[in-house]
Amino acid sequence: MAKAIKKQALGRGLSALLKDPENDIKSVHDKNADKVVGNIIELEIDAIEINPFQPRSNFNEESLKELATSIKELGVIQPITVRKLDFNKYQLISGERRLRASTLVGLKTVPAYIRIANDNESLVMALVENIQRHDLDPIEIALSYQRLMDEIELTQEQMSERVGKKRSTIANYLRLLKLDPIIQTGIRDGFISMGHGRAIINIEDLDVQTDIYQKIVSQNLSVRDTEALVKSYQDSLKPKPATKAKSVSFEVAPSEKNKFTDYFGTKVDIKVAGNGKGKITIPFHSEEDFNRIVKLIKG
């Protein structure tokens, strides 16, 4: 208990230091910077602005209320992380859920780690820390990776080193952004999983993508069912092999066919198969015609 009181007192003492205009710390080289940077300090919530680089955009209200109840009873156990912008002005790097929950229960201050970072460093820290520490949905993670690529000009290989993930894992997340926006929303809202999305992405036609998405939701299809559905659609697009004309063992000359036609007085059809077998078809048009042909056969 004594250690906890001492730690809180130290945090309040450093807070007072930060409010002294004569000790405004703007870089790690400034006086007293070593006492502030990297230490846990009680900061006024009003002095903290939300990080525009925050990848999480969905916050479950029920989960937030549960965290608020826990903070009300036990306090903020894990400090948030901020970067110093100006005199008594800070920007959140990570811990937005804790900050929101603390505001819900009416706290005026929160424990925070202070860092001094430029915009690029702040972006990288915010995205990397959130990806590693929080349960972001797959689309939020994909957007975080994409933002690192676009704004910091990182390759997938470099991102792999930064976040400790395989390059193939990063590539799989990024591919989700090629899905129709309706399907991306479905993943974010939990209607389908990332596995469903990875199966659907193999179809380029966005209209077909959404048709399959509707079937997944309405029929409660599994990932395996979805993969089978996608494969069936892809197979239907493949050109069917041309049917080869069946070869015959020998040809019946037209003159021979004409002899049969002339003899029976009706057009006779002769077909020969590849194995040498065949059939002769003699059509008739009435019972009288049938009896006539029978007499000709009997001779």
- Report residue 132 CA to chain centroid gap: 17
- The helix/strand/coil state of 243 is coil
Burial level of 33, CB count in 10 A (0-12/13-18/19+)?
middle
Mark out the alpha helices in 42-177 (DSSP H runs): 61-74, 96-104, 119-133, 138-151, 156-163, 167-175
Active-site choice (73, 96, 121, 288): 96
Cβ neighbours around 172 below 10 Å, total? 17
CA angle 217, 220, 223 (to 5 degrees): 95
Structure tokens that stand for 173 in this block: 């997340």
For the chain, counts of helices (H) and of strands (E):
14, 7
287 catalytic? Reply is no
Residue of 254, 278, 276 whose CA lies nearest to 267: 254
Cβ neighbours around 31 below 10 Å, total? 10
Element (H, E) at 49: strand 48-49
Quote helix, strand, coil % in the chain, to nearest 5. Answer: 55, 10, 30
Place of tokens 């009300």: 72
**Distance separating alpha carbons of residues 33 and 227, to the nearest angstrom:** 56
**What Å distances lie between residue 144 and 34, 174, 179, 181, 215, CA to CA?**
31, 9, 16, 16, 29
Structure tokens that stand for 39 in this block: 């230490």
The residues assigned a catalytic role are: 96
